[in-house]
Structure 1
Amino acid sequence: MSNDKEYLVTLNVPPGLEEAVVDNLLVLESEHGFSSYIVNSHDHKNEGLSLLEQVTGRQKKIRFQLYMPAQGLPVLLEQLRQEFSGSGIHYRVTPVIDSGTI
């Protein structure tokens, strides 16, 4: 187990922003890389949802996950805020207790 403080950053991104977010993350996060996959987002707010999304109660999003050392976290979040202000990207930062390869 490493002593360096590391975080898991999760971003839920509207599909139309997928390529722009990929481009930004490739510039900012080159050491560990990142993952992306399609998820269904469920929310009690119906703002910006199509009729189909309102009926089904789900909205497609692209989820990105990346590991980030503590010192890189402010840089990442500031860059995302500058590039994607008002875009509806939801993020979560979670401390990593342990990680590695088995």
Structure 2
Amino acid sequence: MNNGKEYLVTLNVPPDLEEAVVDNLLVLESEHGFSSFIVNSHDHRNEGLSLLEQVTGRQKKIRFQMYVPEQGLPVLLAQLRQEFEGSGIHYWVLPVIENGFI
């Protein structure tokens, strides 16, 4: 079990921003690290979708996930807002009940 309150932060990022987000997270989250993987995003809004994406009903995104201690959460979100304002990055934050290695 971890000591102190932590959060799981998830970001869905347009593929053209992947490298910029990686660079930012490497600076901000060097202590804890993060994971990334390709996901298909499904949304009823067709904003910014190519014709193929509209027809298939999915859009490729890069998902980043990281554990963030309570005191680091405002810093992370402020930095992402400053660097990527208006970019369409979707994020959510969940409390972590428990994590560790088995």
Q: Is 2:58 the counterpart of 1:64?
A: no
Q: Is 2:24 the counterpart of 1:20?
A: no
Aligned-residue CA RMSD (Å): 0.5
Q: Which runs of 4+ in 1 moved over 3 A?
A: none
- Alpha-carbon displacement from aligned partner over 1:40-71 (angstroms, at most 9, x marks no partner): 00000001100000000000000000000000
User: Alpha-carbon deviation of 1:31?
Assistant: 1.2
SS in 1 for 2:92: strand
TM-score by length of structure 1 reads: 0.98
TM-score by length of structure 2 reads: 0.98
SS in 1 for 2:86: coil
Q: Would you say how many aligned residue pairs link Structure 1 and Structure 2?
A: 102
Unaligned runs of 5+ in 1: none
Amino acid at match of 1:65: Q
1:1-102 alignment, distance < 5 Å: 1-102=1-102
Unaligned runs of 5+ in 2: none
User: Alpha-carbon deviation of 1:3?
Assistant: 3.5
2:2 touches 2:100 (CA, 8 Å); kept in 1?
no
